[in-house]
A and B are shown apart, each in its own frame.
Chain A
Amino acid sequence: MSRPVLEVSDLSIAFGGLRAVDQVTFAAERHRITTVIGPNGAGKSTLFNMISGALKPLSGTVLIDGVDMTGAAPERLKGAGLSRSFQITNLFFELTVAENLRLAAQVLEPAKRALLPIRCSTRAQAKTQAMLERFELTHKRDELAGNLSHGDQRRLEIAVCLASEPKILLLDEPTQGMSHQDTADTAKLVRSLTQDVSVLLIEHDIGLVMELSDHVVVMHQGRKLAEGPPAAVRADPQVQAAYFGHA
């Protein structure tokens, strides 16, 4: 088996006295969906923030493709092949759908094209078009992202993350606030992503977690409580007490 695409070990951070993430260790395998679950405030988003360079960890390491990227700036992590979405929709609301995608796809172009007219970046343009089609947003390409429905915005956010052709994709509650139908569609979409990328997911909908995940990491009060295949994790009495007990 090849080396995991993402290896996190002993990652910790504290806010004031609060150990928001406390010595968390896990790995995400290639072309698999690894899901992080846990009650509100368990530290899931904070864990994502440390992996994606939004926060510098207090201690621990993050390896991407075996390379130490601990505490690297987000733009460097992007170069290493990591892409992330946000729990609260985070797009360029004043720019069009196509422009949101084009900005993300531009990193596929050689750096020298940055100072040539935009139409010379043909690869970024082709990628934008492909993303619009794959995510069924072609007819909305010239709409402002801020004018899209919530469901479309969440989908665009995934498309933006994917447009840079990452190795590993971090999705923070992609189905949050979605209708039942949109949630089901998104689940199907996320499943189809594993052809190209490895996915690290945060998800609250337990049904979805069981259906989608190859591997589940359970967090509780900043610590890793358990990990394993979905069924095994669900059967774990500790997990039941801490997490499913509340559900």
Chain B
Amino acid sequence: MLDRLTLSMRASHVLAALLVVAALVLAVVGSAIGDTFYLRLATEALIFAGLALSVDLLLGYSGALSLGQALYFGIGAYTSALVLMKVPSFWLAMGAAAGMTFVCAIIGGLIANRVRGVYFALITFGLAQVVAKVVYNIRDLGASDGMIGIPVIDIGIGPFSVSAGNPVGFFLVVLVIIMALYAATAYLLDTPFGRVLTALKANEKRVPFLGYSVWRARMVCYLAAALIAGLSGALYPMLRGFVSPELMFFMTSGNAVISVILGGVGTLVGALYGSVFLVIIKSVIGSWTDHYLIIIGLLFMAGVLFMPKGLIGFVRPHVERMIAPRHLRETRAPEQDAPLKAEEVKP
């Protein structure tokens, strides 16, 4: 029988489909009028949406706030850049980025998962800052300038080939990859393992008494989130032709967290919408004034105050009601209840 969590996930899929339709419309219109600027901007929005997705997997499902998720985005980007300079192969770059991110995430996860809550947030923040500073000082990685001159590659997909320099073509490639990452995450969350993550968020101390290892679940979640961030990051140098240490800085991690909060924590698709929204706002307001950060800050505060569940958190219950079978239609949606705090286990 369909249950609430599966229903919420389906409502997210409806909204994700809507986003894909909007993207396809943009692709058609953009190629018809020969636009480059907006297609590249939208491609960048999608790439950062991947990073936001990884933040939401951690925060929205297992309840762990990472303030340094850009670390894995940056590792993916640098690995991809290094590979592309030697061998201009899309698949090799993606594979290497995934492998490198995975290995680094095992180390990062062993460190960060020793603690939880605020301490987890601080450790993830610290890890990213340390690695960013190290990269900033390594001459072979371009130091503070980063690496430029990454060649424009041709992406071979079966018999077809798309140039990363083609705005529509690359936009569609990125769209497919980010939506595949979304689909994989959604799949994971609708498995028994994914449900253990929601249990962790709801009441972590009860989980071991159900027979699940909290450490293992948190670790797997951390690795999956890092992979998503790393694969998204791997796309960045293909779009921009360069990488820089800023990709790992707090600004990047912070933007991803803001995207998730604006879009709706724990909705998955909200991370995508939030990221697109943030990139659009930034470029629109950025074209009026240099002080766009002030406006983004104010927007963020207004969002948190007046739409605490985010854009999708606000919209999704309505979608749920539309697609719900009768037995789930009467009762209140979980989103509308103030979550009760779990009682502490008496130690």
Number of B residues contacting the other chain (C-beta, 8 Å)? Answer: 39
* Contact indicator A142/B3 (Cβ below 8 Å): yes
Q: Which residues in chain A, 112-162, are within 8 Å of chain B measured between CB atoms?
A: 113-118, 121, 124-125, 142-144, 146-147, 160
Is residue B342 within 8 Å, beta carbon to beta carbon, of the partner chain?
Answer: yes
A93 on the B face (CB < 8 A): yes
Contact of B209 among A78, A102, A116 (CB under 8 A): A78
For the complex formed, measure the closest distance between the CB of B175 and the CB atoms of chain A, giving whole angstroms: 25
- Chain A: interface residue count, which band? 35 or more
Flag whether A176 is at the interface (Cβ < 8 A): no
How far, in whole Å, are A98 and B6 apart by their CA atoms in the complex?
13
Could you tell me if A118 and B196 are in contact, using CB atoms closer than 8 angstroms? no
Could you tell me if B339 and A94 are in contact, using CB atoms closer than 8 angstroms? yes
Q: How far is the CA of A125 from the CA of B2 in the complex (A)?
A: 11
Q: Which residues of B contact A90 (CB under 8 A)?
A: 203, 205-206, 342-343, 345
B191 touches A103 (CB 8 A): no
Q: Which of A53, A55, A118, A125 has the most CB of B within 10 A?
A: A118
Binds B, one of A79-87, A186-194, A209-217, A224-232: A79-87
Q: How far is the CA of A89 from the CA of B5 in the complex (A)?
A: 23
CB of B162 to closest CB in A, whole Å: 32
How many whole Å from A113's CB to the nearest CB in chain B?
6
Decide yes or no whether A106 CB sits under 8 A from chain B: yes
Binding site for B on A (CB under 8 A): 45, 49, 52-55, 73-75, 78-79, 83-84, 86-96, 98-99, 102-104, 106-107, 109, 113-118, 121, 124-125, 142-144, 146-147, 160, 164
Question: Which B positions have Cβ atoms within 8 angstroms of A?
Answer: 1, 3-6, 187-188, 190-193, 195-196, 198-199, 202-203, 205-206, 208-213, 327-328, 331, 334, 337, 339-347
**For the complex of A and B, 8 pairs with smallest distance between CB atoms:** A78-B211, A74-B208, A146-B340, A93-B340, A92-B202, A107-B211, A114-B193, A94-B339
